[in-house]
Amino acid sequence: MSVPVPRRAVLRGAVLLGATALTPFGGGRAAWAAATRVDQPVIANCATWAARPPSSDVSVVQSRPNKIIVHHTAFPNATDYSLAHAYQNSRDIQNLHMDTNGWLDSGQHFTNSRGGHLTEGRHGSLHALLHGQTMVQGAHCVGQNSQAIGIENDGTYLDGQPPQALWDSLVWFCAFTCQQYGIPPNEIYGHKDFNNTQCPGLLHDRLPELRSAVATRLGG
């Protein structure tokens, strides 16, 4: 039951309403809530998981991203699904990206754990997402870092599927991000669509399912 044109029109209308309503605080809040179809998932910000400060200023891109790119971390598949583990995983990724890769901060904008816990990656990503007008420049996919939101899904999915909790939070995150930025659900990709990599493994095979689930979430 795909009716792409009306659905997109409805989505765009909702986003515009939201952006207008958000500018003046106060009375605008109610209008924003009424226009919002997808509730905000819990996303722990950098301070919550005790991120290190960036080694230099994060760049803010003064435009909206036009797509989402899905990754897997290629870390071992943890069996600890706790929030504490999600925070530790966020610190591990940041340490790897800053100390080994020499980047100024985490490369990805957001991280999703095997327990389904979402965290902010690069500083400023969550603030930008909630306002829906800008993005911070990432370091997750060569050629796409100023136009694509990158989400790292913890684990390696070359041979096995991710836990259901990870999948469910990925769907929710993508739907909310599409809503906030006015990104069409069919603009969700995998890392291997742009760079020579196996990332995100079997999650790439499930992109049609992901796009469909996100579209349903947005338009249902």
- Contact set with Zn ion (CB under 5 A): 71, 191, 199
The two beta strands, 67-72 and 148-153, are: parallel
At its nearest, how many Å lie between Zn ion and the CB of residue 200? 6
Give whichever of 71 and 97 is closer to Zn ion, judged by the CB atom: 71
At its nearest, how many Å lie between Zn ion and the CB of residue 163? 19
Give whichever of 108 and 169 is closer to Zn ion, judged by the CB atom: 108
Please give the Cα distance from 44 to 47 (Å, whole number): 8
Buried/exposed code over 37-49 (b: 16+ C-beta within 10 A; e: otherwise)? bbeebebbebeeb
At its nearest, how many Å lie between Zn ion and the CB of residue 167? 17
First to last CA, the chain: 11
Buried/exposed code over 168-182 (b: 16+ C-beta within 10 A; e: otherwise)? ebbbbbbbbbbbbbb
Cα R_g (the chain), whole angstroms: 17
Give whichever of 39 and 205 is closer to Zn ion, judged by the CB atom: 205
At its nearest, how many Å lie between Zn ion and the CB of residue 69? 7
Give whichever of 144 and 169 is closer to Zn ion, judged by the CB atom: 144
At its nearest, how many Å lie between Zn ion and the CB of residue 210? 15
3-state secondary structure of 70: strand
Give whichever of 34 and 158 is closer to Zn ion, judged by the CB atom: 158
- Secondary element (H or E) of residue 38: none
